[in-house]
A = this chain, B = another copy of it.
Amino acid sequence: MAKKEFSVTPYEVKGSVDYEKLIKEFGTELIDEKLLKRIKKHTGELHFMLRRKVFFSHRDMNWLLNEYEKGEKFYIYTGRGPSGKMHLGHLLPFLFTKWLQDKFKCKTIIQITDDEKYLFNNKKLEEYTKQGLENIKDIIAVGLNPRLTEIMIDTYNSKTLYNNAIHFAKRLTVSTVKSAFGFNDSFNIGQYFYTSFQAVPAILESVRKGKNVPCLIPLGVDQDPHFRLARDIYPKLGYYKPAIIHSRFLPPLQGTQGKMSSSIAESAIFTTDNKETVKKKVLKYAFSGGRKTLEEHRKYGGNPDIDVSYQYLYQLLEPDDKKIKEIYEEYKSGSLLSGELKLIMIEKANKFLEKHQKARDKAEKIIDKFLIKD
């Protein structure tokens, strides 16, 4: 934190993330207009998270599309560390995955890393597994197709995972893991080994089919270091490098520092929060880009770029470009007040959650259709 103002690893996101600097640091590529056009050629339309650069960075998307255009279908792999209840920020990659699945008719593998959460935190393993099953309801609720989607829970599928992971682990030294994740010798051997489990689904379809199948991984950019290692090692084992598409983080209610955390209840809107709770949290905690007084706000206008309610609408809750532009301009001009913006956001969030929670209740009954046997 001495030289730069932020740091991003799978195990900690600190400070206010400068995504352009992060791209340089991680060595990824910006998603540019040319790439968007190329994606649109196949999907007909662009998801608003692409139009708005919520998914802002990638690795090897052009290669993936080359393969696709040659007739090689890809599959999607993403995942969830079940540290606690899911909040709106956690839904981003899954909502986007659902869109990709629909557009490309993709096989999709989702990994629930209960073992990881156990190895890095303090609760009992069973609690993370149980939390994982809760999270799966949220994941199914985004509308994934059970015929195209497999959900792996690490401790349910540890045979498949371990027996593939050892090939990866054999080629990964402690020294490399240290530099990728910032670990030292006081970290436990499970933590060091774990990344080899997270790498497995990126080649699992290739293992099953006995030939290389391209893989696309949509994820929060903090998870990139796992797959930088995967992209380094898999070609040595004869597999393709997985392509990756990275999203920003939805900020915590308190402001644009770091990543929203489910361990601080007030910093997040959970998928299971009721209308009243959402309203209270937003009114009380959502960081505002408005001015100190009504007069100043009317005169100078608010700052939507740091206003959390606006960011939630922009990144997740208001897919309509015309409407989001209006909100932006009205807020910036001062005609829309912070309290009014919050009410728009609360209404949108509650509408979103009402639909989500209905789907979540139904999901409970079909979980078994998604879980895979070892």
Tell me the number of copies of this protein: 2
Q: Verify B186–A175 contact, CB threshold 8 A.
A: yes
Q: B185–A190 contact, CB under 8 A? A: no
Q: Determine if A188 and B162 form an interchain contact, defined as CB atoms under 8 angstroms apart.
A: no
Q: Is the pair B155, A169 in contact by a Cβ cutoff of 8 Å? A: no
A contact residues, range:
20 to 34
Also in contact, A170 and B119, with CB within 8 A (given A158-B163, A193-B193): yes
- CB <8 Å contact, B170 and A188: yes
**Contact: B173 with A188, CB < 8 Å?**
yes
Given A158-B162, A158-B163, A159-B374: A169 and B190 interface contact (C-beta under 8 Å) = yes
Interface membership of A211, Cβ < 8 A: no
- Majority SS of interface residues in chain A? helix
Q: How far is the CA of A332 from the CA of B169 in the complex (A)?
A: 53
| Chain A 154-175 interface residues, beta-carbon cutoff 8 Å to B | 155, 158-159, 161-163, 165-167, 169-175
B185 touches A178 (CB 8 A): yes
A270 on the B face (CB < 8 A): no
List residues 128-179 of chain A with CB under 8 A from any CB of chain B: 155, 158-159, 161-163, 165-167, 169-175, 177-178
Is A312 part of the contact surface with B, judged by Cβ < 8 Å? Answer: no
**Residues in chain B near residue A170, CB distance under 8 A:** 118-119, 188, 190
Name A's B-contacting residues (CB within 8 A).
Answer: 115, 118-119, 125, 155, 158-159, 161-163, 165-167, 169-175, 177-178, 183, 185-190, 192-193, 195-196, 374
Besides the contacts A174-B186, A189-B196, what 12 more A-B pairs have beta carbons closer than 8 Å?
Answer: A115-B166, A119-B169, A125-B167, A155-B162, A166-B190, A169-B189, A170-B188, A173-B187, A174-B185, A174-B192, A178-B185, A189-B193
